[in-house]
Structure 1
Amino acid sequence: MKNVLITNIFGIGDVLFTTPLIASLKKEVKGISVDYLCNARTRDVVESDPDIDEIFVYEKDEFVRMWRESKIHCLKALYGLFSAVRQRRYDAVFDFTLSREFGLFFALAGIPRRIGLDYRKRGIFLTDRVALTAFEGRHVVEHYLDLLERVNVPASEKEMQLVPEEADLEWASAYMKEKGIRRGYIVAVIPGGGASWGAQASRKQWGAEGFLRAADILTAQGVKTALLGAPAEAGLCRDIAGRMKEAPAVVENSLTLKQYIALLSRCDLVLCNDGGPLHIAAALGIRTVSIFGPVDEKVYGPYPVSDKHRVISAAGLPCRPCYSRFKLPECGHDNRCLTDIAPETVAEACLELLGIGK
Structure 2
Amino acid sequence: MSMDDTRPRTAVQLQLNGMGDLVWHAQYFRCVAEQSQGGQISLIAAPTTMARELVGHEPWVREVIDFDRRPRRSERRKGRHSGWAGLLRFGAELAPRRFDRMVLFSDHPGRAILVCWRAGIRTILGFGETRLQRLLLTKTPWIQRYRGPAVAGYKDATAFSIAQGFCRAPIVPRISVRPDALARMRERLAPLQRPLHALAIGASEPYKQWGERNFVELANRLAARGHGVLLLGGPAESQLAKDIQARVEPALRGLVTTMTDGTVAESVAALSLVQSCIGNDTGAVQFAAGVGTHAFVVLGPRPPLEHDPEHVHMLQAARLADIGPADVESRVLAELG
TM beyond 0.5? yes
- Inter-CA distance 58–139: structure 2 relative to 1 (3 Å threshold): closer
How far apart are 1:264 and its partner, in Å? 1.5
What is the one-letter code of the residue matched to 1:217? R
Identify the match of residue 167 of structure 2 among 146, 154, 175: 154
Counterpart secondary structure, 1:60: coil
Q: Is the 8 A contact 1:187 1:225 kept in 2?
A: yes
Identify the match of residue 58 of structure 1 among 67, 74, 83: 67
Counterpart secondary structure, 2:62: coil
* Counterpart-to-counterpart distance in 2, 1:285 and 1:91: 35
Matched, 1:353 2:331: no
* Counterpart-to-counterpart distance in 2, 1:170 and 1:117: 40
Matched, 1:313 2:327: no
How far apart are 1:54 and its partner, in Å? 1.7
Counterpart secondary structure, 1:54: strand
Identify the match of residue 8 of structure 1 among 3, 10, 14: 14
Counterpart secondary structure, 1:226: strand
Aligned length: 316
- Inter-CA distance 265–137: structure 2 relative to 1 (3 Å threshold): closer
Matches within 5 A, 1:88-127: 88-97=97-106, 98-117=108-127, 123=133, 125-127=136-138
Counterpart secondary structure, 1:107: helix
- Inter-CA distance 76–29: structure 2 relative to 1 (3 Å threshold): closer
Matched, 1:258 2:262: no
For structure 1, which segment, 149-158 or 236-245, has the greater mean C-alpha deviation from structure 2 after superposition? 149-158
Q: Which residue of the partner structure matches residue 40 of structure 1?
A: 47
Normalised TM-score (structure 2): 0.82
For structure 1, which segment, 262-271 or 46-55, has the greater mean C-alpha deviation from structure 2 after superposition? 46-55
How far apart are 1:347 and its partner, in Å? 0.5
How far apart are 1:237 and its partner, in Å? 1.5
- Inter-CA distance 139–66: structure 2 relative to 1 (3 Å threshold): closer
Matched, 1:237 2:249: no
Q: Is the 8 A contact 2:81 2:87 kept in 1?
A: no
* Counterpart-to-counterpart distance in 1, 2:247 and 2:150: 40
For structure 1, which segment, 1-10 or 279-288, has the greater mean C-alpha deviation from structure 2 after superposition? 1-10
Q: Flag structure 2 segments of 5+ consecutive residues without an equivalent.
A: 1-6, 72-76
For structure 1, which segment, 266-275 or 144-153, has the greater mean C-alpha deviation from structure 2 after superposition? 144-153
* Counterpart-to-counterpart distance in 2, 1:141 and 1:155: 15
What is the one-letter code of the residue matched to 2:259? E
Q: Which residue of the partner structure matches residue 176 of structure 1?
A: 189
What is the one-letter code of the residue matched to 2:47? A
Q: Is the 8 A contact 2:300 2:316 kept in 1?
A: yes
What is the one-letter code of the residue matched to 2:9? N
Q: Which residue of the partner structure matches residue 186 of structure 1?
A: 196
Matched, 1:164 2:177: yes
Normalised TM-score (structure 1): 0.77
Matched, 1:276 2:291: no
Q: What percentage of aligned pairs have identical amino acids? A: 20
* Counterpart-to-counterpart distance in 1, 2:259 and 2:38: 41
Q: Is the 8 A contact 2:200 2:282 kept in 1?
A: no
How far apart are 1:118 and its partner, in Å? 5.3
Query: Deviations 1:257-287 (Å, cap 9, x if unpaired)?
Result: 1121111122111001112111111111111
- Inter-CA distance 294–86: structure 2 relative to 1 (3 Å threshold): farther
* Counterpart-to-counterpart distance in 1, 2:12 and 2:80: 25
- Inter-CA distance 192–39: structure 2 relative to 1 (3 Å threshold): same
How far apart are 1:209 and its partner, in Å? 1.8
Aligned-CA RMSD value? 3.0
Q: Is the 8 A contact 1:145 1:155 kept in 2?
A: no
- Inter-CA distance 133–155: structure 2 relative to 1 (3 Å threshold): closer
* Counterpart-to-counterpart distance in 2, 1:78 and 1:257: 31
Q: Which residue of the partner structure matches residue 213 of structure 1?
A: 217
Q: Which residue of the partner structure matches residue 85 of structure 1?
A: 94
Q: Which residue of the partner structure matches residue 329 of structure 1?
A: none
| Stretches of 4+ aligned residues off by more than 6 angstroms | 74-78, 119-122
How far apart are 1:185 and its partner, in Å? 0.9
How far apart are 1:191 and its partner, in Å? 1.9
How far apart are 1:100 and its partner, in Å? 1.7
Q: Flag structure 1 segments of 5+ consecutive residues without an equivalent.
A: 196-200, 318-336
